[in-house]
Structure formats: structure tokens, C-alpha cells
Chain A
Amino acid sequence: MLHMTKEKIHIENLEVSIGKEHILKNINCTIPEKKITVILGPSGCGKTTLLKSMNRLTDLYSDVKINGKIELNGKNIYNGISDINDLRRKMGLLSQRPAPLPMNIFNNVAYGLKISGRRKKRYLRLRVEHYLKQANLWDEVKDRLYSPANSLSIGQQQRLCLARGLAVDPELILADEPTSSLDPISSQAIENRLMELKNHYTIIVVTHALRQARRIADYIIFLYLGEIIEQCEASEFFNNPKNEITKAYLRGSFN
């Protein structure tokens, strides 16, 4: 199955250190297009760092050193791209805790469009409605589009963040434990959305919830202490793990 799909991101010999700490070691992996790739691993193994190095949010860390190559659509993002903002716009980000912008609901979704110069009221209204529907939030907020975004529940806020990310028409969605601060029903809503969205987007989800990985993953990258231990189809990973550490992890011997 995997060999039939195009590769969206290709990472070669990626090394990331922060200060004296060597966080990611010799990472080589491939993210298939229009699939859900789950990055799995125990806490502190470098999942978030790997995710953020893909849209160069790691640049914001102080004292960070990055070596190696990350290619998006065949172009190295650390060498030879001129517009980092444009790179980041291609990757919608969902963080662990929803971080709505300090604006009303409408403007949260419209913001990305506005800063890229699209300001026509009618156009914005149509787009905002479209993306709120995609994030399955429209019905709940259509009567209060102009109230502050943080008046929404956490689960609604996370869906708003999804809509906001989709509104700038990204190619990828990077989701860092997008459901860990949500209740089961909201989590389910986000998971369902991601499953539907993978027909149009390449999705990367970081999680340490094995059950969630089982439910949504097409492809798994298993990280342990900054190294990739195993990467393969999800079915292969769960049914026929090769590595001893993977087996122990799947047995729940550590979390």
C-alpha cells in the first residue's frame, strides 16, 4: 500500500540538539501523502521536536542546532527555501492545548486569509462558514460568530483551531497530541475529522495513546530516546512488531 503513494516529506540524517542535549539522532523517515502518519513514543522522546522541525518552529528555540535534510515535495526546507512564512502556512498546526487567537470566532478563522491579503467581506464570510463546517463546529457557533473565541469550551476551541488551520489551505496538518486535553466526545470529534480530512491532506499526529494510534494510523513512526526504532504500516506495527523495544512498548511495559 505504502509504495503506491507519493512521499510528501522525506527526512534524511536529521540531527537536532538543544544546548548540550542531543534530542533527535540520525532520523531517517518518510511521510506518505494523504495518509495519517502517527508519531508514537514515550514522553520526552522527541516527538514534538520532530514535528516542529518540519515547519521550522524549532528555529524559535534558543541554542538549537539542526543538521541533515528535510524535504517537502522534494525541496530541502533547511536550505534553499526563501519564505519560511510560506513554508509554515503549508502546514496547519494543532497543538496540545488549543490556542485560540485573542479575537472573536469569526476572525480566528479569517485571520490567516486576512494576512494573506484576502479581505473582501463576502468572500471571508463564505470561507469562514466553509471551514467551520469542515471542522464540524458551524452549527454550534453560527449564532455567536462575533463572541470571543475563548468563550468556547476546550473541545470547541480545538475544532476552531482546526478550522483556522484549514482556512489557509495547507498541504499538511501537524497535530501534536491534539486530543490530550479534551474529553472523550470531543476527542472522538477531532479523530473523526482527521480521518475524513486525510483524503485531502497529509496528516501527522503525535500521540502517546496507543489506542488512538490503532484507530487512526495508516503509518507509524516509533520514536524512543530520540531515535526511530521502527517505521512501518500501522497493521504491521501492531500485529507483527520486529523490534524488542516496540514489543515491550506495545505490551505497555513503559509508557
Chain B
Amino acid sequence: MIVTLSLVILTPIVMCICLSVKSSLLFESLPVGKIFFTSAWEPSKGNFGFLPFILSSIFITFLAVLIAGPVCLFSALYLTQYARVRLVRIMQPVIDILAGIPSVVYGVWGIIVIVPFVSNVVAPLFHIQTTGYTLIAGGIVLAVMITPFILNILIEILRTIPSELSEATLSLGATKWEVIKHVIVRKAKPGIVSAFGLGVSRAFGETIAVLMVAGNVAKIPGGLFDPVYPLPALIANNYGEMMSIPLYDSALMMAALILFVSILVFNFFSRISIYHLERNL
């Protein structure tokens, strides 16, 4: 048991070390500022500016959680507070199935439904012309993908809130909605934050589906209707090709390292905020 446990703990450490070693070459050849804060991505000229990819990843993740978060929260509240037991029993396997659909299927669905929808319906509303392969298309597909995942966690969390708490609040003359707003959501806040946090981690690393609909142009996106090129897509699209270009291999390792470290740092901060929220209940 100790062996397997140490394997579990060692894997990320080893991973981190490998990625650092491999990407150190890039650090040696380019100044840090140039790697992280410039947007010129011209591997053949030796320019590796990661800013467009980093921003793409952040924007698309933020957008996805912004869309999925409220939807999941209200659905979970409805299912746990209002819905009849039968509906919950029907919904549970549906959510599990949605969670189990392979990423590539969501991607295909994005291409045949969301991309044209963005191109033909949403963009014209703003008098914009686009192919549809955009930040917003990626955000929507990603939101749909992380929804069952977040929803499941939220339902789990809301179920753990003791019924005595609602009963006590109702006995003070509160309406059902006041119970939900003032007590249940507040009590569940640490859990809600961690569910959204896990959603962020999920969305940040999601690759295939996003790659299929996001457009993949290495430029800082200026708006919802610009294409984006998130880090995982960069790695998946290019690894194994163009390896003859000097430093390219190292740059992709750098992309992986950025992903890895961001998720680590993000998890760390969400843990801290959960801790503080829990203490203040």
C-alpha cells in the first residue's frame, strides 16, 4: 500500500521535474519576460511568446465557468430542494451519461451545432462576420462539457446539508426561497466554491473538444468573436511535428509546464479560500 501511495504522490513530482528539465532549454535561450509577456509566436525565427495561449486558456476557461456555474447551481438547487424524488432518480443517470460522453463527441457536436449557430445567429446580432470558430463557441462547448461534472458535485454537496437547518429556518417564518438564499447557499458556499474550482481545473486542461471549435490562431483574442488558441490545443496540435525547429520541443514542454503549474497554483488558492469560508460559517 505504501508503495502504491508513494507512486501516486511521486508521479506529479516526477512529471514536474521532467517538464522543468525539458523546458529549461527555452529559459536559457530566451528572457523570461519575452516568454510570458510577448505575443510573437514565430518558432522558425526563434520567437516563442506564450501570451496569446495563456490568455486564450484563461478567457475560455473563465467563459465556460461563467456560463456553466449559474446553470449548474440553479439546476442543483432545483433538483435537491424542489424536485420530486422521482425526477432526481431519472436525472442522476442522465447526468452520469453526459459526464461519460467522450470529449471528441462534444467537439463534433460543437462543430456541427455551436459553430454554425455562432456564425449564423449570434454573430450577426452584433453585426460581426465570423466562421464561428471562436472564443464564444469554445466557451459554450466547454461549458456544456463541464456542466455534468460540476452538477454532480453540487448535488452531492447540497444533499449533505441537514434538513434540520431548513426546518429551523422555515420555523422562523422564512419562505422556501429565503431558506435557499440565506441558509442553504451560504452553508454550501465552501462546497460550491470547490465545485466551481474543480470545474475550472477541468476546463483549463480540456483539449480535444476545444481544439476542434476554438479556431486555433496564435493571436491575443480581442473579443468573444475572435478565435483562441489555448495551451492544451497548442501541445496537441503540434507535438511530434516540426520537431526539427530548434527549441520547439522545449517550447511545447514549457506549455505543458505552464498548464501544470497553473492548475497546481489554482488548486492551492481554492483550497485556501475554501478553508477560510468554512471557518466563517
Contact = CB atoms under 8 A, between A and B. Distances in A.
Interface of A: 52, 55, 57, 60, 62-63, 85-86, 88-89, 91-93, 95-97, 99, 101-103, 111-112, 115-116, 148, 150, 161, 164-165, 168, 174
A interface secondary structure, majority: mixed
Contacts of A116: 173
Contacts of A148: 279-281
Contacts of A63: 85
B104 interface: no
Contact of A165 (B172, B182, B279): B172
Interface string B166-203: 11111111110010001100110100000000000000
B175 A85 contact: yes
A49 B210 CA distance: 53
B17 interface: no
Interface in B189-223: 189
A138 B216 CA distance: 64
A94 to B, nearest CB: 9
Nearest to B186: A102
User: What is the size category of the interface that chain B forms with chain A?
Assistant: 20 to 34
B183 A91 contact: no
A97 B173 CA distance: 20
A101 B164 contact: no
Contact of A115 (B165, B172, B279, B280): B172
Nearest to B81: A60
A96 B162 CA distance: 12
Contacts of A86: 173
A102 B171 contact: no
B117 to A, nearest CB: 39
Contact of B165 (A57, A96, A99, A164): A99
A77 to B, nearest CB: 14
B163 interface: yes
A85 B85 contact: no
A101 B165 contact: yes
Contacts of B170: 57, 60, 85, 88
A174 B163 CA distance: 16
A65 B134 CA distance: 54
Contacts of B175: 85
Nearest to B162: A99
Nearest to B169: A101
A55 B172 CA distance: 11
Contact of A103 (B172, B173, B186, B279): B186
Nearest to A96: B164
A101 B189 CA distance: 13
Contact of A111 (B85, B163, B182): B182
A60 B167 contact: yes
Nearest to B174: A115
B84 interface: yes
A112 B172 contact: yes
Given A60-B166, A95-B167, A99-B162, 12 more contacts: A55-B171, A60-B167, A60-B170, A85-B175, A89-B171, A95-B164, A97-B162, A99-B164, A101-B168, A101-B169, A148-B279, A164-B172
B164 A102 contact: no
B279 A97 contact: no
Closest A-B pairs by Cβ, 10 of them: A89-B173, A93-B171, A112-B172, A99-B164, A102-B187, A102-B281, A102-B186, A99-B168, A99-B165, A95-B164
B85 A168 contact: no
A57 B281 contact: no
Contacts of B187: 102
Contacts of B183: 101-102
